[in-house]
Amino acid sequence: SLLVDKTCEKTRKTGQWVARYFLSAGVVVWLLAMMLEIHRFLPLQQLLWIEAMMAITAAALLWLGHKKALPDFKWAALSVVFGMIIPLYLSLVSHAWPIPVFSADSLPLINVTFAALLIYFLTHFLMAHYWRTGAAVESVYNRLIVRSLMVMALLSWVVNGIYEIDKFFNLPGLLTVIVVFFSASFVLFIWLAHYLKWPDLHRIKYGMTPLLLLLALLTPIFQDFHQAFGLVAWLAAFAVNYWLLKLYAKRMQAIDYYHTFSLWLLSYIAVYEFVTLIAEQMGRHTIWHSASFAAMLLALSATVFMLRNKLKWPLLAQPKAYFKWALPVMMWVLWGAIVLLNIKNPGSLNGVPYVPVLNVIDVLGLLTLLLAIKMHQDNPSVFFVDSMKVNYVLLAVTGFLMLNATMLRCFHYWYGIDYKLIDLMTSFRVQTGFSILWAATAVTLMVMAARKKSRAVWLLGLALMIVVVAKLFLVDMSASGSIERIVAFLSVGLLLSLVGYFSPLPPTSKSEAHIEAGEPHEA
């Protein structure tokens, strides 16, 4: 009995392998025969008809396997589906098979390439869905098959869309249509993921922000963002992006990073467009164009900060993303822009008179410092620096740089001195201005320090005054007999007299002890 059972089992397995061989051979012969006939009689449409024939063959095998409970037929259908990439490779990649050129196949959406890729997409997508829901046993291999089919379907959708857009659109409309295509595609597939209850398909939610980042980096190479209704397309894309972030707020890993990069990306596009607009309207070599980058970045940063307690989503819902990472980094970039703005040549005024403090560069600098102080009061460690001493040093250095740059721009615009380092430093007027400005700054610091009883600030003013006196004898003395030297010595002498009368050295205060220890204190 045992021997008979083993013999029967061996016979049954042999019969299965024989059946599989004939099934495989039959499918291969059928496919080859049909391909040869299509290649012979429909050479320009062969991609479409071969893809359609293979899709129909796979559907028939799958239906028979499902109806008769024959797993081998299902696997045969799956093999045919995976084989559908061969005609695509021979036509679109290696060009071994001819396909219609643009002039012979010029209808959008109704052409050989689009129809073939659409059939490829539908076949893989539907097969992936069936294999996910109809698999008898859940296994690692089945999940791998489903995900492979899904990825191939999505890739064919993307390739088909870009190929069709590139075929029928030119710049600048091409990139606008691509942005709209991807936005609509994400909406479609997210809806399908919910409708079909397909967990793996939900994973495409992670792709929207990186895709927008890639498109945003590529767009300026070819065109401006606003061209061909581009701003409308980008606003729609960001609406989809934030819709996804809100939809998956509780089911998305590393969502803080996506919110952070979304704000940076939105700021990048807004700043780029504003700078481009100012360049077109005011000219590139103007003070307005020089300040446009910092102006828009400041406006965006201030808006986000002012809405921190008012906008429930996304600001209050994701405070870590916006106020620990995104906004502080934007402020550091803004600080760098302000520093660069005060160092480089500001450009022409376009007929507007230059007034110290009441000009676009100084106003931007003061507003940036004010915003930074407000943010620091709200969170002392907001700028990734916990040491109060470092914060005060940065504030003092930035303020002193802005003060000197304001004076240099005055000499540049009022006296026609070129805004170049060698021209400015060799001018006796500029050197006299430095002496008076530094002395006035030192006196102001020492007087304020005496009233506030701040010993550290008073010593800082004293150090600056010592530098001024040294500069008088080492630099300004070279302007022998000039009016600039006389003005410098008289002004500094008068200011030194004021120091001795108004600001004696104060004792060390408790707040300074906190600052020296690197601890925050109440002002």
What is the residue-wise DSSP string for 431-476?
HHHHHHHHHHHHHHHHHHHHHHT-HHHHHHHHHHHHHHHHHHHHTG
- pLDDT per residue as tens digits for the range 222-279: 999 999 899 999 999 999 999 999 999 988 888 999 999 999 999 999 999 999 999 9
Residue closest to 354 by CA, chosen among 404, 407, 309, 315: 407
What is the residue-wise DSSP string for 493-506?
HHHHHHHHHH-PPP
Q: How many CA atoms lie within 13 A of 119 on its CB side?
A: 24
C-alpha 54/C-alpha 25 separation (Å) is: 15
C-alpha 176/C-alpha 166 separation (Å) is: 11
The per-residue pLDDT for 61 is 94
- pLDDT per residue as tens digits for the range 398-446: 999 999 999 999 999 998 899 998 998 888 888 888 888 888 888 888 8
Q: What is the pLDDT along the chain (523 residues), one digit of tens a residue?
A: 555 455 555 565 666 777 788 888 999 999 999 988 998 888 888 889 999 999 999 999 999 998 888 888 999 999 999 999 999 998 888 888 777 765 566 677 788 889 999 999 999 999 999 999 876 567 788 899 999 999 999 999 999 999 999 888 888 889 999 999 999 999 999 999 999 999 999 999 999 999 999 999 999 999 999 998 999 999 999 999 999 999 999 888 889 999 999 999 999 999 999 999 999 998 888 999 999 999 999 999 999 999 999 999 999 999 999 999 999 999 999 999 999 999 999 989 887 888 888 899 999 999 999 999 999 999 888 888 888 888 888 999 999 999 999 999 999 999 889 999 899 888 888 888 888 888 888 888 888 887 777 778 888 888 888 888 888 777 766 655 556 566 666 666 666 666 665 555 565 655 555 555 555 544 3
DSSP letter (8 states) at residue 92: I
pTM value? 0.85
3-state secondary structure 10-70: HHHHHHHHHHHHHHHHHHHHHHHHHHHHHHHHCCCCHHHHHHHHHHHHHHHHHHHHHHCCC
C-alpha 408/C-alpha 312 separation (Å) is: 45
The per-residue pLDDT for 504 is 59
**8 Å CB contact between 436 and 487:** yes
C-alpha 517/C-alpha 508 separation (Å) is: 13
**8 Å CB contact between 287 and 359:** yes
C-alpha 217/C-alpha 400 separation (Å) is: 36
Domain boundaries, the chain: 9-168, 172-253
Tokens of 105: 């196949």
**Residue listed under structure tokens 């002004």:** 491
The per-residue pLDDT for 110 is 82
182 CB burial (10 A radius; 0-12, 13-18, 19+): buried
